[in-house]
């Protein structure tokens, strides 16, 4: 038997969260004290742990509601039903990962092209890339050129060397 704060501490959740789960039908305490305090049994605690484990693998609370009702009525469901839910979620997660991998690659190429230094953002290749319609990103390879405008012919060599370091835009 736990009061709300005890169960919350036990499962490293806030009491507010337990009230929220109750409001949404996921976890109703088995009883109340005379004064109205929620009283959770060990069974309630097990149900909370189920919820938290399902959350830890990426299910939403709505999906967890479904899983809970299946769990309480197993004989009317088959493995295909349960595995179906997992596989749908898996596909969603994989789709999201793919999207974020796109973001990650784009951000990395923007970051790589920018010197990150104290020079004016007027020359910043990140802003330039966001302004322009092309997908390629210019690398900021012209620092010394700006700082030393009167270069010797050997700077052509520098330019070529730097150019070789540049990432090609996609």
Partner DNA sequence: ATAAACCTTGGAGCCCACTCCAAGGTCAAG
Partner DNA sequence: CTTGACCTTGGAGTGGGCTCCAAGGTTTAT
Cα–Cα distance between 51 and 170 in angstroms, integer?
43
CA distances from 54 to 26, 83, 85, 130 (A): 12, 14, 12, 40
114 binds Zn ion (CB under 5 A): yes
Helix (H, G, I), strand (E, B) or coil at 115: coil
**Residue range at the interface with DNA (CB under 7 A); choices 59-67, 73-81, 116-124, 130-138:** 59-67
Separation between Cα atoms, residue 105 and residue 112, nearest integer Å = 10
Tell me if residue 125 falls in helix, strand or coil.
Answer: helix
Torsion sign over Cα 43, 48, 52, 54: positive
Select the span of 19-27, 62-70, 104-112, 132-140 touching Zn ion (CB under 5 A): 132-140
Query: Interacting stretch for Zn ion, rule CB under 5 A, among 9-17, 104-112, 138-146, 152-160?
Result: 138-146
Q: Tell which positions 6-35 bind DNA, by CB under 7 A.
A: 6, 14-17, 19-20, 32-35
**Residues at the interface with a copy of itself (CB under 8 A):** 46, 49-50, 53-54, 56-58, 67, 70-71, 74-75, 77-84, 86-87, 89-90, 93-94, 96-97, 100-101, 103-104, 106-108, 110-111, 114-124, 126-127, 129-131, 133, 140
């Amino acid at each position: 038997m736990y009061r709300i704060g005890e169960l919350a501490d036990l499962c490293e959740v806030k009491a507010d969260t337990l009230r929220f789960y109750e409001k949404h039908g996921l976890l109703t305490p088995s009883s109340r004290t005379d004064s109205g305090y929620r009283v959770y049994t060990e069974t309630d605690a097990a149900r909370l742990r189920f919820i938290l484990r399902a959350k830890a693998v990426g299910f939403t609370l709505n999906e967890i509601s479904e899983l809970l009702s299946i769990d309480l009525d197993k004989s009317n469901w088959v493995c295909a039903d349960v595995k179906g839910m997992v596989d749908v979620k898996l596909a969603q997660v994989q789709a999201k990962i793919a999207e974020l991998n796109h973001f990650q690659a784009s951000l990395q190429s923007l970051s790589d092209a920018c010197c990150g230094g104290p020079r004016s953002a007027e020359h910043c290749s990140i802003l330039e890339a966001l302004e322009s319609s092309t997908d390629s990103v210019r690398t900021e390879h012209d620092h010394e050129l700006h700082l030393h405008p009167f270069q010797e012919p050997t700077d052509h060599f520098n330019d070529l060397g730097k150019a070789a370091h540049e990432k090609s835009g996609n």
